[in-house]
Structure 1
Amino acid sequence: MVSGIALRDPPFDLRPAQVLALTQARLGDPFALLGPHSGGVPGQLVVWVPGVDAVAAVGHDRWPLRQVAPGVWAGHIPPGAEYRLALQTGGTTETIDDPYRFGPVLGALDEHLFAEGTHKRLWHMLGARVMRHEGVDGTVFAVWAPDAQAVSVVGEFNFWDGRRHPMRPRGTSGVWELFLPGVGEGAVYKYQIRTADGALQPLKADPVGFGSEHPPANASVVRDIRGYGWKDDDWMAARADRQHRRAPMAIYEVHLASWRRRAGRAISWVEAANELVDYVHDMGFTHLELMPVSEHPFSGSWGYQPLGLYAPTIRHGPPHEFRDLIDAAHRRGLGVLLDWVPGHFPSDAHGLTRFDGTHLYEHADPREGYHPDWNTLIYNFGRREVANFLRSNALYWLEEYHIDGLRVDAVASMLYRDYSRKEGEWVPNVHGGRENLEAIAMLRSTNALIYGEVPGIVTVAEESTAFPGVSAPAHDGGLGFGFKWNMGWMNDTLRYMTEDPVNRKHHHHLLTFGIDYAFTENFILPISHDEVVHGKGSMLAKMPGDAWQKFANLRAYYGFMWGHPGKKLLFMGCEFGQRAEWNHDAELAWDEAAQPPNAGLQRLVRDLNTLYRTEPALHARDCEPEGFAWLDGGATDLSVLAFARHAPGAPQVAVISNFTPLPRRWRCPLPAAGRWREALNTDATDYGGSGGGNGGAVIADGGAAMGHPASALLELPPLATLFLIHDPGAR
């Protein structure tokens, strides 16, 4: 007897200490005890099946096994014989495959690449992968827990009993693996981890799980992500041209759970594949951007506190239906961007925090590993396996789900060690500075990886500081993003628009300053969810004046925005002027969209998108100074400004804004003489305006002005933006 384990009639090579560890879920290498063994006693078979009356191995013959300890059965079979296990309980017999007769799935190359942090496709190695292994269907489970004493996979298939399916360690990689025959799509599971000091962790969800239960339940779910029948070949072939910095990009940002709802629930991926895709296409946007879809425990985080980075949230349906949404968008010519959150994660006990009893994914020092703004934990970007986990996740969405790009959240919080921290609350880098060198390296290497592996994709940084080279190539020392949100432009111009028009002449620089740095990065002009929540009010509510003036101000602002250099992004509801600020628990106020002033604003956004897409001057050189020229940026006292947009071989476009409620006759400098067609006027009656304007065209027959060769006398409607397109062939 060893520690209470008495082995009965042991003509077997068994170590009582191993058997005891097995029964207590402490056995770190179950394959050293379980399964068929060629060494020791020839043909020895040991199986672990608690709670049954009899066990036999069955193949070309039947080999009864004896119970040598509670739940442990042993016997002899011919070496190399194929077998299954016949389990008898009462009068019932069940035949199953023995998980401990199968060889490992992971190979030496997987272990090597993982150990050095260069495994590009980590989801091919870790997680719960449905497969056929050694002729049997099942799922291989693999998880990284290097400091664990023992790891088991638990689920409904084994009564959540951590003793039943201990996993095998894979060399020195820290990865644990087990193939479970018969387990497949839809199985619910977690990992039971015993720490190095023998303590049991709370059951952990799979960090690389492909699916999850419906919150508030939080177990992982086996999802077979193989073999989706994509029908988006045409989009994929043309994608690189559609997402180039010289292509038009007008992005509609969506929080799907509150875009539309059905009987109090969020719409499904399948419903969105029809309704949302149709709407975004009809509105003339080129791209749909989804706020984070990775599984997250708290709906109120809007997805920005994710724990299941590899799992599309089940709130809208299973993973293959998420692919249906992407495929539908592509077939309508729409790109799809995802918000991606590699900067932090919540501290829920079932998640990554102290995953194997150590600070595995997060920094141990709270000065590096804790986010004071969001009460979350920060990844240890300098740990090669963690950086690999994040890089591979970025590639996963692009390859497995055909996502066209990633908008990376809160990049500034990753770049600086002192972000939102007081003196003494942060740790300098190795050079004594404030830059987070490890995070910078991770972002740079992620962009290099995904741009190199997936042609035509794009990455976007939400970065609110003047950090240099965010959208410069990684090989030139930049961070390697394709685009950067222009937070400065957004803040300045919204400050201007909130001013009463009588005071705007004192703040004119807020509209013009953006051009001073407009071409230092590849910019996107963002009016995002952050601008219409947390007491900031809706876009319409920000505008001064009576009801008519509020809509007129907003129309003029959108005209200015669509004319300004930079790609465009607009959050849902802003396109029709929802009156209340965004509420993530309710759908948009679609009843308001049908009201005349809202419907007019909506038509304007649709027409702005059409004009922006069809006129190369408005998009082809969004990121190049050659595409822009001031016509008159200094009419401060009038709160009027005018600029021209250019592109090689395309008609020039003049954009003129009047940000006062006074109609004006104003001589506008123009870059060429002749006819200029009034292509869009935000004061048109069709948009809810007063109908002021220039009768469809003006003739630039005046003399030179402000350094330009021609000029025209314009009728500037109140609170309006005009787009004039040069028509040199007209008489």
Structure 2
Amino acid sequence: MLIDELNNAKLTKPFEVLGLQPNYGGEGFVLRAWLPGAKEVAVWSLKGDKEIVKLDCTSPDGLFEKVLPDVKEPFHYKFKVKYPDAVVDIIDPYQFRDEAFYGLSTMYETPSNIYKTLGAQIIEVEIDGVKVKGTKFAVYAPSATCVSLIGDFNFWDGRRHPMARSLLGHWVLFVPGLGVGQRYKFEIKDPHGNRLPHKSDPVGFYHEQYPSFASIISDQSSYKWHDDAWIKSQLNNKLTRPISIYEVHLASWRRKEDGSSLSYRELADELVKYVKDMGYTHIEMLPVMEHPFSGSWGYQPTGLFAPTSRFGGIDDFKYLVDTCHQNNIGVILDWVPAHFPTDAHGLARFDGTPLYEYEDPRRGWHPDWNSLIYDFGRDTVRNFLIASALIWLDYYHVDGLRVDAVASMLYWDYSRKAGEWIPNVNGGNINYEAVSFLKWFNEEVYKKFPQAMTIAEESTAFTGVSRPTYTGGLGFGFKWNMGWMHDSLDYMSQDPFFRKYHHGEMSFSMIYAYNENFILSISHDEVTHGKHSLLYKMPGDEWQQAANLRSYLGFQYAHPGKKLNFMGTEFAQSSEWNHDSQLEWWLLQFDKHRGMQNLVRDLNKLYVNEPLLWKNDYDPSAFKWLDVNDAEHSIFAALRTDPETHEEIIAVSNFTPVPYVAYRLGVPRPGVYSIILNTDDKKYWGSGYKIGPEKLAASNISWQGQYHSVVLDLPPLATVFIKRVSE
């Protein structure tokens, strides 16, 4: 019976039962309303504000109806509902069938239609000259037997707003009067009719924190951007531009006196000002997508379309991005399409079935992170994920996405033992579905947002990660060079006496440096989970640790490839990163840490102002080792050139605590050379060891494969940058 379906929230076709329906077997129409708790319901015209009729109560549970034999065609109306303690005007949502279903037929023509159609979309319709504003809800749950909209507006009662199912498996409803700030969720019954835990909106733009995790209606059109000039300026080749990235975890960068995190707008003031002063070109934020557990750092997201509400609203986040752009700082976000958590309010078995995840745990369960793996072979999942990427570039104006854990997506046997994974159709370990997905993702991003960049965190030797899809590559713009990071940090952790036995670790990266468009990344992963801070990875006493780190950062900036360093590196934080507190800003009262900060600021300044250090990062003819075999002295000398102008910068690193007196360095041209940066300078808390005369005159003595050479004294544990300044 109808009343049983209504009372048990099992009504599946509300538009065929509620609202104004043809009076089958009689004349006119039947107007039916389901309003639990109501005592009296009067029907008023939507326009003209006059009472038309009172409905009869046909069930004390809240069913009201009236036969209208004289009505010849449908009309629009509202209810005046009398409750025991109030009289409320309600515009009946069940007279807006067309509005509820609008847009679904073209949803999958492009992934961006998903965030423009699903979720909670604020719309305004004009009926009989009356503008009706409300929110259109749509959620994909094809295996659900019924779905209800619940929220504060209906006392979280799944009986009151049953949704209608589309042929594609979406459940929809347009509710007049609901607007910004209203909390909502979906009450879903699985294929067997069992009620699932209340679900947050998978395409929701804003969500509350624990314990409710409720979704909140938000207006994506309200923020007014001021970054047109920046967006236009980014239509360039990122490979030939300077990119120095400051990786930051917003919650723990800096905190207030009470221990709480800064808001988006506070970060727009303090973080942006700091990053600009330090000379970085980009900020990369650990995932800001909504996530239930702070300890995941954002890498277990449940709200892929929503900036976390921990720091403010969606307009506040946009203000942060806008402020970055107005200060000529790009914004990169970490994005996690590899896996998702099992939280009951999230995507896990969303409609009672594995709607988003692979069903077989040998493919759908990630043993490292105790999370579920997206089914990359399902079109609806692929569209959902790509839509979640595009919205950040579209609505939030971010400049790039760094895709997390790409290796775990590419290989079926990632972190699995024999028997724990299922081979592909050819018997191998490559996930062809993930490969196809990643290619499509990159094609969609660069087609719709050519000013953007995509970056892969991929730790294996998979071929063509940052090569175009039309050549067989995955299509990423860049790839993190995790091999360089691992080898170079292993080298630097050695006692200088033993570094000669590990000499090849510092040069090995150049063997494969041009296989991909690499970013030299020293990320958050290297300073947590018992790995120590970068400073304390370095051997020696207090001075030597700092000197080692200074020389290492100098080596990084001299090496081909874009740069990334995690927050705290720039002032040599001594403790391992702790996401529950702020960086150790108090260390800046000491010369050692203030000197390191001065060095990184100057390295960024040198890097940005010297095109030789970035213009030809991916051109093999623009780099040459001058001295790469002197393992006994742990010295490396490299030449960065411009093949067109033939200008050059030379970088020499001495990775021992012993000065090298009268070191002869080959140079390509005659003239006068000058030291343009020395990591051992006293202003960086270095020793101030005298290199030699301020100007180094080149002699005609051939050396290191060059026709000319200069002589200088190399400081201990230092990297020195040298440039020709005159003929």
Superposition TM-score, scaled by structure 2 size: 0.96
Matched, 1:92 2:76: no
- Counterpart of 1:13 in structure 2 is none
Alignment of 1:177-196 (within 5 A): 177-196=172-191
Equivalent residue for 1:689, pick from 686, 691, 697: 686
- Counterpart of 2:32 in structure 1 is 46
Q: Which amino acid aligns with 2:665?
A: C
* Alpha carbons 1:508, 1:639 under 8 Å: kept: yes
| Cα distance per residue 1:212-233 (max 9 Å; x no partner) | 1123431111111113210011
Matched, 1:72 2:63: yes
CA distance in 2, matches of 1:636, 1:64: 95
CA distance in 1, matches of 2:136, 2:693: 70
- Counterpart of 1:618 in structure 2 is 613
Alignment of 1:263-662 (within 5 A): 263-647=258-642, 648-649=644-645, 651-662=647-658
CA apart distance, 1:112: 4.5
Equivalent residue for 1:674, pick from 671, 675, 689: 671
* Alpha carbons 1:616, 1:650 under 8 Å: kept: no
- Counterpart of 1:254 in structure 2 is 248
Alignment of 1:199-238 (within 5 A): 199-238=194-233
Aligned residue for 2:675, secondary structure, equals strand
CA distance in 1, matches of 2:285, 2:99: 35
* Alpha carbons 1:256, 1:290 under 8 Å: kept: yes
Which consecutive residues of structure 2, in runs of 5 or more, have no partner in the other structure?
none
Equivalent residue for 2:41, pick from 41, 48, 55: 55
CA apart distance, 1:18: 3.1
* Alpha carbons 2:533, 2:577 under 8 Å: kept: yes
Q: Which amino acid aligns with 2:58?
A: V
CA apart distance, 1:572: 0.3
CA apart distance, 1:101: 1.0
CA apart distance, 1:120: 3.0
CA apart distance, 1:202: 0.6
CA distance in 1, matches of 2:7, 2:627: 82
Change in CA separation of 1:539 and 1:66 when aligned onto 2, cut-off 3 Å = same
CA distance in 2, matches of 1:184, 1:112: 25
- Counterpart of 2:134 in structure 1 is 138
* Alpha carbons 1:245, 1:622 under 8 Å: kept: yes
* Alpha carbons 1:216, 1:297 under 8 Å: kept: no
CA distance in 2, matches of 1:105, 1:248: 48
Q: Which amino acid aligns with 1:672?
A: R
Aligned residue for 2:340, secondary structure, equals coil
CA distance in 1, matches of 2:111, 2:470: 21
Aligned residue for 2:628, secondary structure, equals strand
- Counterpart of 2:161 in structure 1 is 165
| Cα distance per residue 1:486-523 (max 9 Å; x no partner) | 00000000000000001111110000101000111000
CA distance in 1, matches of 2:717, 2:623: 23
CA distance in 1, matches of 2:66, 2:372: 50
CA apart distance, 1:604: 0.5
| Cα distance per residue 1:393-439 (max 9 Å; x no partner) | 11000000000000000100000000000001001111111001111
CA apart distance, 1:641: 0.9
CA distance in 2, matches of 1:119, 1:339: 20
Aligned residue for 1:475, secondary structure, equals helix
CA distance in 1, matches of 2:427, 2:500: 45
* Alpha carbons 1:679, 1:696 under 8 Å: kept: no
| Cα distance per residue 1:66-114 (max 9 Å; x no partner) | 1112211101443323311011123632211111111333667633543
Q: Which amino acid aligns with 1:715?
A: D
CA apart distance, 1:373: 0.2
- Counterpart of 1:154 in structure 2 is 150
CA distance in 2, matches of 1:351, 1:339: 20
The runs of at least 4 aligned residues of structure 1 exceeding 4 Å deviation read 106-109
CA apart distance, 1:557: 0.3
Matched, 1:110 2:130: no
CA distance in 2, matches of 1:443, 1:625: 28
CA distance in 2, matches of 1:312, 1:173: 28
Aligned residue for 1:121, secondary structure, equals helix
* Alpha carbons 2:36, 2:63 under 8 Å: kept: yes
CA distance in 1, matches of 2:697, 2:23: 96
CA apart distance, 1:650: 6.4
* Alpha carbons 2:180, 2:219 under 8 Å: kept: yes
Equivalent residue for 1:698, pick from 685, 696, 699: 696
CA distance in 1, matches of 2:192, 2:260: 45
Equivalent residue for 2:17, pick from 20, 24, 33: 33
Change in CA separation of 1:708 and 1:91 when aligned onto 2, cut-off 3 Å = closer
Aligned residue for 1:660, secondary structure, equals coil
CA distance in 2, matches of 1:119, 1:57: 41
CA apart distance, 1:132: 1.0
* Alpha carbons 2:548, 2:655 under 8 Å: kept: yes
Change in CA separation of 1:56 and 1:248 when aligned onto 2, cut-off 3 Å = same
* Alpha carbons 1:310, 1:396 under 8 Å: kept: yes
* Alpha carbons 2:248, 2:286 under 8 Å: kept: yes
What is the RMSD computed on CA atoms of the aligned residues?
1.3
CA distance in 2, matches of 1:418, 1:449: 28
Aligned residue for 1:636, secondary structure, equals coil
CA distance in 1, matches of 2:479, 2:515: 10
CA apart distance, 1:350: 0.8
| Cα distance per residue 1:641-689 (max 9 Å; x no partner) | 1010012336310000000001112111122222111100000111111
CA apart distance, 1:189: 0.9
Superposition TM-score, scaled by structure 1 size: 0.95
CA apart distance, 1:698: 1.4
CA apart distance, 1:702: 4.2
* Alpha carbons 1:670, 1:708 under 8 Å: kept: yes
Aligned residue for 1:88, secondary structure, equals strand
* Alpha carbons 2:42, 2:51 under 8 Å: kept: no
Which consecutive residues of structure 1, in runs of 5 or more, have no partner in the other structure?
1-16
Change in CA separation of 1:708 and 1:216 when aligned onto 2, cut-off 3 Å = farther
CA distance in 2, matches of 1:55, 1:701: 100
* Alpha carbons 1:110, 1:119 under 8 Å: kept: no
CA apart distance, 1:535: 0.5
Change in CA separation of 1:600 and 1:499 when aligned onto 2, cut-off 3 Å = same
- How many residues align? The count is 709
CA apart distance, 1:254: 0.3
* Alpha carbons 1:669, 1:711 under 8 Å: kept: yes
Aligned residue for 2:99, secondary structure, equals coil
Matched, 1:128 2:120: yes
| Cα distance per residue 1:109-146 (max 9 Å; x no partner) | 633543xx743331111001112134211111110000
Matched, 1:82 2:76: yes
Q: Percent identity?
A: 49
